[in-house]
Amino acid sequence: MSEYEVLQVQAQPQVMQIDALERANVDTQVATAKKYPRDMRRSLDDSIVMATLDKETAQSCGYALPRGNKPITGPSVHLAKIIVSNWGNMRTEAKVVQITDTQVVSRGTAWDLEKNVASAFEVRRSIIDKNGKRYPNDMITVTGNAANAIAYRNAVFSVIPKSITDKVYQAAQSFITGDLSDEDKLKKTRAKWIAFFKNEYGITEEEVIKLCGKQTINQIRGNEIALLSGIDQSLKDGDTTVEELMKPYRGTKSSKFKDIAGEAAGVKEGINQEGTKQTLFDDGSAKDS
C-alpha cells in the first residue's frame, strides 16, 4: 500500500448546499399540502369545466394509436396536464435521461405530496428511420419531446385515481360528439370529419371507414367520430404518422388473395418456357400478361 496515495473524498460545499435547499423546498411543499388538502369534488368539477371549455380543448384530451388493425384510445398528455393543474399538491416532471445510438430514453415522474404517492415511468422511442439511418439532431429532439409526453402521461395517470381520469375523459369525449341523436346532425359531423382527413392528411373516405373498423359510411356514428378526433390529435402530437397509421390499410394485396380471386374466375397466372408471364384459363388457352 506504500506505493499508493490514499485521498479522502469530500463532498463539495456547493453540492451539499443544493441538496439542502432541495430538501427544504420539498419539506415546505409537503407541509403546505398537508395544511391545505385538496377538495376532490372541486378538483373534478374544475377539470371537467376546463376540458370542455371548447371543442379544440376537448379534442386534445384524447388520443388514438394504431395497433394492428384496431386503434387503442385513451386520455392524452393534455388531459393529464389539465387534471394536474386542478388536482394540486403535486410535483411532476418529464425529461430525457439517455440518448443511445438507436433510442432516446425519457423518464416521467409524478409525486402526490399530500398522499405521499409517487410513480416514475421510462419510455423508449426509436431514432432509426425505415432505411436504418439515425435521425438528425432536430428529429431526435422532436422524438425526445414525444417520449417526454408519453412518460409524463403514464406517470400522472398512475398516481391520480382512474375514477377521476375516466370522468373527465368521458366528459371531453361527449363534448366532442355533441348531440348526434338527430340524423342530419350526424351526417353533417360525419361529412366534416371525412373532408378534414382527406384535405389535411390525404386519407380517403374509404380509408376513413377502414380506420373506424366499419364497412359502410353509415356505420360511422358517435363513438367512431370520437375515435377520429383521437387519431387527429395523435397525428398532431407526433405520436404517430400518416404512413404508420395507414400501413395496415395501404399494403399491397398478397398473392394468396390474388390466387383465390383468380381461381374463382377460372384464371391463373404462370410463366411459359420463354420466361414470359402469362394468364392461364381453365379451357387451356393462354394470354401474355
pLDDT tens by residue, 199-238: 999 999 999 998 888 889 999 888 888 889 999 988 988 8
pLDDT less than 70: residues of the chain: 1-18, 66, 68-69, 251-289
Return the pLDDT at 270: 45
* Amino acid 258: pLDDT: 39
Q: Let me know: does 149 contact 121? Beta carbons within 8 Å.
A: no
Smallest Cα–Cα separation from 145: which of 63, 245, 236?
Answer: 236
Choose among 171, 185, 6, 222: nearest CA to 214.
222
Q: How far apart are CA 211 and CA 249, in angstroms?
A: 8
